[in-house]
Amino acid sequence: MESTPKANVRADRLILLQGKRDVPADGVQDYCEYLGKALEKRGVSVEIVRVDGVREGWLPTLRKVSKAGYNWRGCWVVLQYTAMAWSKRGFPLGAAAVLAMAKYHGARCGVVFHEPFSLGGSRVIDRIRGACQQWVIQKLHDMCETSVFPEPLETIRWLRRGDERAVFIPIGANVPDAVRASAQVHRNNSASKTVAIYCLSDPPNLHREITEISAAVRIATGDGAKLRVVFLGRGTSEARDEIWRAFDGIPVEASNFGIQNPEDVRGFLEGSDVMLCVRGPLYSRRGSALAGIACGLPIVGYSGAADGTPIAEAGVVLVPFGDVEALGSGLRQVLSDRGPAGMLREKSLQAYWRYFSWESIAEKFDRALACKKGTGEQRAMA
């Protein structure tokens, strides 16, 4: 069990509890680090603790948790839930065991549901796995004082309406907060425009995504526009050869930079004119899109999941899923000289500072826990 950084035992201490590390990039780790830094600026003592029962074995891991739990009494322990972080094969019973152990030792328990639903699948084993995940999710919610959901509560179908323990707090981008700036900072006056592709899915979805990206770019260059396409982030290095084949014959400059550190990601995105997102319908937990919004980019992607969520207030141009013609037309419109790029950039920045900046998220998180401290004070969520 890893713990960083080491902190003194305090009644107002906040422990962010993680499961197995994801590779090659760990979005939950990024979330905890950025949230922790933002909360510490608000005077909250934060400790990140990793509990890896998948690698170390659950019996020795639970012994370590029990030993550490003696120092957690009266502290907030907030477990970060994804199914695969707490299980090798998607049966995350370890998460419930760890939270029960923390509660037994007198910790004040919360959960951030990075995955508020069970994972899908049509096979018998998938249905059994999904039922197990749904049981764990609801059990975690029943055990904790505060449940944090990264999507509007009305979209969580299993959640009881008016549940006072549940709170909606968007997740943030896996890039550092920027200084407050106008969209004018992002204006590119060169003749060539840059399209950013941040992260690709694993097979079998990878082939579909690259095919749709190349088709949309081909449409966008139909009127002679000069484009540069920049690939970076998870899944792009592995797809290098397929990307080159897909863009063969398209009059664009394509570059592949693979996984970059967060500061360089921000630099690449801030130097782009638009982000193209085709991994699926755009929704509030799509971290790659949130990084684009954090950098003031217009987003061209697929509709179907953004309605009624904060991401719909950003500078997004959404088309029906799989409609490549509409995707290319939307991309061409945003990149045209008379396109709505400036307005869309401004909307992205406004949505970012209102919903997705770590400053805003930390404020909401602090309020969500403060109203449970037993003082009787109930603060309205922003």
CA distances, 9 to each of 101, 162, 238 (Å): 18, 34, 44
Q: What pLDDT shows up at residue 192?
A: 85
Return d(Cα 246, Cα 248) in angstroms, integer.
6
Total-model pTM:
0.85
pLDDT tens-digit readout, 6-63:
433 344 689 999 999 988 888 899 999 999 999 999 999 999 999 999 899 999 999 9
Q: What pLDDT shows up at residue 13?
A: 85
Cβ contacts of 89 within 8 Å, gap of 6 or more: 129
**Which superfamily, per CATH, for 183-356?**
Glycogen Phosphorylase B; (3.40.50.2000)
Yes or no: say if 316 and 298 are a contact pair by the CB < 8 Å rule. yes
Return d(Cα 66, Cα 104) in angstroms, integer.
9
Q: What pLDDT shows up at residue 183?
A: 47
Yes or no: say if 195 and 331 are a contact pair by the CB < 8 Å rule. yes
Return d(Cα 324, Cα 218) in angstroms, integer.
10
Beta strands in 51-117 (DSSP E): 76-81, 108-113
Return d(Cα 26, Cα 29) in angstroms, integer.
5
Q: For the chain, 382 residues long, give each residue's pLDDT as a single digit of tens.
A: 665 444 333 446 899 999 999 888 888 999 999 999 999 999 999 999 999 998 999 999 999 999 999 999 999 999 999 999 999 999 999 999 999 999 999 999 999 999 999 987 889 999 999 999 999 999 999 999 999 999 999 999 999 999 999 999 999 988 887 655 544 445 555 678 999 999 999 999 999 999 999 999 999 998 888 999 999 999 999 999 999 999 999 999 999 999 999 999 999 999 999 999 999 999 988 999 999 999 999 999 999 999 989 999 999 999 999 999 999 999 999 998 777 889 999 999 999 999 999 999 999 999 999 755 544 333 333 3
Q: What pLDDT shows up at residue 176?
A: 81
CB atoms within 10 A of CB 139: 15
Q: What pLDDT shows up at residue 23?
A: 83
* Residue ranges of the chain assigned to CATH 3.40.50.2000: 2-172+358-370, 183-356
Q: What pLDDT shows up at residue 44?
A: 92
Query: Residue 376 is encoded by which pair of tokens?
Result: 């009787």
pLDDT tens-digit readout, 137-188:
999 999 999 999 999 999 999 999 999 999 999 999 888 876 555 444 455 5
Return d(Cα 178, Cα 215) in angstroms, integer.
33
What is the pairing mode between strands 253-256 and 227-232? Answer: parallel
Instruction: Give the CATH class of 2-172+358-370.
Output: alpha beta
Angle at 115 (CA atoms; ends 111, 120), nearest 5 degrees: 145
Q: What pLDDT shows up at residue 372?
A: 54
Yes or no: say if 21 and 86 are a contact pair by the CB < 8 Å rule. no
DSSP secondary structure string, 238-297?
TTHHHHHHHHTTSSSEEEE--S--HHHHHHHHHT-SEEEEEEEE--TT-HHHHHHHHTT-
